[in-house]
Structure 1
Amino acid sequence: MSVAVAQTAPSPAPQTAPAQAPAKDALGRETPQGLVTGLISAFAAGDYDRAARFFTTKKIAGNAGTAASRAALAKTFQQVLDRNGRLTTPAELSTDPNGRIDDGLGEGLERIGTIQTEDGKVELLAERVESDGVMVWVISAKTLSAIPALARTNPDSLSFAALTNYVPAGPVVGGAPVVHWGMLLVIAGLAYVAAWLVILLVRLIVRLIKRAHGETTVTRFMEAAAAPARLLLTAVLFVVALRWIEVTVVIRYYAEFGAQLTSWFGLAWLMWRLSGAAGEVALGRMSRRGQLSAYAIVSFLRRVFQGLVALALVAALLHVFGIDFTTALAALGIGGLAIALGAQKFFENLIGSLTLILDQPVRVGDFCRFGTALGTVEDIGMRSTRIRTLDRTVLTVPNGEFSALHIENFSRRDRFWFHPTLSVRYDTDPEQMRFLLQELRAMLYAHPRVDPDPARVRFIRLGASSLDIEIFAYVYAVNMDDYLEVQEDLLLRCMEIVAKSGSGFAFPSQTVYVARDSVRDGEKATAARDSVKQWQEAGELQVPRFHPDRIRELRNTLEYPPPGAAVR
């Protein structure tokens, strides 16, 4: 018999429970900002039971602790705030679950508002406690204990504040009577009119300054700042007037919040306009001094600054609406990686633009060749460069690609190259050739727009159908049009010298003569030979090169433009 041995099955490995996401508070009280926005939302809805849930659960003196008493306390709290209180807006509240650590209140405490009394301001505090396993922020016991006493006080109100008491309240809209919303619109209108009048006075002062001194840097900045300054001044006057009017805390909260947003937009707009004005002023001064190379640098710095202003505004808005900027970037995850990969070209072009600005192979206004295209640079931006082609079209080239091309800048050359090849007839004898070489060199040395070093004329080739003379010289000219005028004059003088020698230009073709060739001008040929002979006898033949003394004698002896020219 065979013995069967039972095998024990191995016990399964213990499984790790999946990590659970941290619990969330249903009322959004994880941060001080969430506490205040949730409390205002409950006040606006008239839901005092929900508002009481934003209070601490600690025992409060004079409070029975029942749901009804807590709801009554919430209503009393709103009445006190309506009369003399102010809750901190989201722009000033922390979005960190731990709150602010630099406010001097200690850990777990946060300042969320104030109540004005006869003895001064009473601070409203929030404290961090645990509720259903979640750390949340609630109105502190110290603040709630002071509410009944604050409700019994009646500090003197200004006459302005009592205006809403003499007008029928009307229906409640958005947690506040209609008359309060109407008063808000009236205040906003009056603030705008007052700001408009102030800016109008400033504009009149600017006009007087311009009449007396013309356009100045100060007037340019004042004109650029006028529109955003009016918006900022309207927001400031609106907030100041709002604190003199007795309206509900809901309206005051949302109105101050809206005024703060308006102020941020106005401030960003102001910085944007001032940077543009500063760029125009800087470019104007550099243009007057001839420092055109700094145009691209100033334009680039202005755009960078405006981009930073826009980025700062976006970061501020994210904070206002409870989104931490660094957390938002980290939360992008794979999306952020995709954006980073997509932005690779952007950063490549940005680095290319920095290269163009720092290295300055071209400047705005330069005529250049890049690759196979020709054109004039009109703008060097953060991403691309715009070039006006010879066809008068605008070609946009990404800076990353443009900076990697071979760029030939025609606007940077100091002289223009004059290098024609004169092909004369084969029946030109050596004496005539010597005459041509000497006269052509003398013409170049004598011309005031030709650089004499080097200015050479050489008999270089016995061609298939001509004797070739190469001219090599540099011409002084301010631009291509000016050079073409000088080149035209030089070519006409070359033609005159060739005709004077008794020779002529050869045609690069083969000709079958069926008749006798025309006889050369014997008198001119004889005169040319006699001239060469006289030069040789006197030791004045300037071949193969001119004597330096003769060059100095010839300098600027020719009249240019030639006699009879309309433009001299």
Structure 2
Amino acid sequence: MSDRLNSILSKLVTSIEGVKDEKEMLLRLIIGLAVFLLLALFRKQISKAIVWLCTKTIARKSDVAQRALVDALSVPLSFFIFVFGIYISTEIIAPSGEIRNPVLLIFKLGVIFSISWFLINFINSDFSFVLSDDDSKTKKTAVNFISNLIKIFIVILSSLLMLEQFGISATRVFAALGIGGVAVAFACKDAVENLLSGFIIIYDKPFEVDDFIKIDNEAGQVEEIKIRTTRLRMTDGSQKIYPNTTVANSAIINLSRMSHRLINENLGIEYKHSSKEINAFCSKLKELILSYDESDKSDVRVNFTDYSDSSLDIEVFFYVDIPSLQDYLTFKSKFNCDVKTLADDMNIDFAFTSRSVYFANELEVKNNAK
């Protein structure tokens, strides 16, 4: 066993510069493996200690920032310590020679990957240490949108840096893309259009997250505005995903930004009612509308407008200062009930679609026949 070990040590001594004999090689192996095992086994504890030190020095004024830093840094730092253990143990065992080069490459890739991992984790945090509850939905959406762009930039940059370690320069990558530039341009056309449309939506602010909007005669609540898409929760509970280009090129009705809402109804009453009864009902109906605190009293219209096939039509037209859709529907329900109560009190009967057929006296029919 000792002869075999000596043979292995002898080969290592000849392949590694700066090592005098087998004893020094054995000592380097023991120290190197011990350092690696120490860092590998206790990497989580070391990571926690470093993170704790960072939170006390960098983010000591904000508990939320500390939590975001801990969540983002802990796992990538633990991975980096493991890679660093491989590198430092190799430096101890073989400071020069063929073994060192691939390990150095692994270490460089590990550093790039760890930093990218940490940055993406940090960007994935909810940014509550930057945003407050008082900040607008638009600001929060913009921060989320920009963070997604930064993540894409980090992935591209880290990929280029990793390729550099293999001797593939960024210039070569862009040159290769230039060869198939036309194909890439066509492939990315929709993605770029959606990206630019996303910028327009964020900064033009036609709507915000949680707004209730109408696009192409379909209404829903805005759940999320992403780089490529806008997601709406429809009234039936389903989620509909629109490309940002479609949203930007469509006529959008933002129902959440209505300062007031219109109530416009046609009430059909039976033909048996006299003009006096109609005028009295219209007057009382207008008084009812004016009695509401929510009604805009500057423009209230209650008029007898048409003789329909089955009814005498009264048009009701007025605005209410109720921006919320749910509150508006609640008020409209109350108004309709109040109208029915008023009609019952005044003995006004609402008409329904009907047709009356009159038969002439049988005798008159016979006389006319003669």
TM bracket (short chain)? 0.7 to 0.9
- Structure 2 SS opposite 1:277: coil
Deviations 1:375-397 (A, max 9, x none): 22222211122222233332222
- Structure 2 SS opposite 1:379: strand
Deviations 1:411-451 (A, max 9, x none): 22222321111112223223222221221111111112222
Q: Offset at 1:511?
A: 2.4
Q: Offset at 1:295?
A: 2.9
Matched, 1:366 2:211: yes
- Structure 2 SS opposite 1:269: helix
- Structure 1 SS opposite 2:313: strand
Q: Which residue of 1 aligns with 2:6?
A: none
Unaligned residue ranges in structure 1 (runs of 5+):
1-45, 47-75, 85-153, 168-179, 515-568
Question: Counterparts of 1:137-148 in structure 2 under 5 Å?
Answer: none
For the residues of structure 1 that align with 2:228 and 2:186, how far apart are their CA atoms? 16
Question: Counterparts of 1:131-530 in structure 2 under 5 Å?
Answer: 164-165=25-26, 186-201=34-49, 216-236=64-84, 238-240=86-88, 242-246=90-94, 248-277=96-125, 279-282=127-130, 285=132, 288-289=133-134, 291-477=136-322, 479-512=324-357
Question: Counterparts of 1:12-31 in structure 2 under 5 Å?
Answer: none
Q: Which range is displaced more, 237-246 or 459-468?
A: 237-246
Whether the 8 Å CA contact 2:64–2:128 is kept in 1: the answer is no
For the residues of structure 2 that align with 1:445 and 1:464, how far apart are their CA atoms? 31
For the residues of structure 1 that align with 2:240 and 2:90, how far apart are their CA atoms? 55
Deviations 1:13-70 (A, max 9, x none): xxxxxxxxxxxxxxxxxxxxxxxxxxxxxxxxx9xxxxxxxxxxxxxxxxxxxxxxxx
Whether the 8 Å CA contact 1:235–1:260 is kept in 2: the answer is no
- Structure 2 SS opposite 1:464: coil
TM value normalised by structure 1: 0.55
The structure having more radius of gyration, on CA atoms, is 1
For the residues of structure 1 that align with 2:202 and 2:195, how far apart are their CA atoms? 11
Aligned length: 344
For the residues of structure 1 that align with 2:264 and 2:298, how far apart are their CA atoms? 14
Q: Which residue of 1 aligns with 2:362?
A: none
Aligned partner letter, 1:365: D
Q: Which range is displaced more, 481-490 or 456-465?
A: 456-465
- Structure 2 SS opposite 1:397: strand
Aligned partner letter, 1:466: S
Question: Counterparts of 1:107-118 in structure 2 under 5 Å?
Answer: none
Deviations 1:64-90 (A, max 9, x none): xxxxxxxxxxxx9x86x6228xxxxxx
Unaligned residue ranges in structure 2 (runs of 5+):
1-10, 360-370
Aligned partner letter, 2:138: S
Aligned partner letter, 2:252: I
Distance verdict in 2 for CA 1:234–1:418, change over 3 Å: same
Q: Which range is displaced more, 485-494 or 362-371?
A: 362-371
Whether the 8 Å CA contact 2:32–2:89 is kept in 1: the answer is no
Q: Offset at 1:333?
A: 4.4
Q: Offset at 1:191?
A: 1.9
Aligned partner letter, 1:384: T
Distance verdict in 2 for CA 1:83–1:426, change over 3 Å: same
Q: Offset at 1:267?
A: 0.3
For the residues of structure 1 that align with 2:213 and 2:95, how far apart are their CA atoms? 67
Q: Which residue of 2 aligns with 1:525?
A: none
Q: Offset at 1:306?
A: 0.5
TM value normalised by structure 2: 0.81
Distance verdict in 2 for CA 1:399–1:186, change over 3 Å: farther
Whether the 8 Å CA contact 2:231–2:242 is kept in 1: the answer is yes
Deviations 1:314-354 (A, max 9, x none): 11012111111122211344423211221111111111111
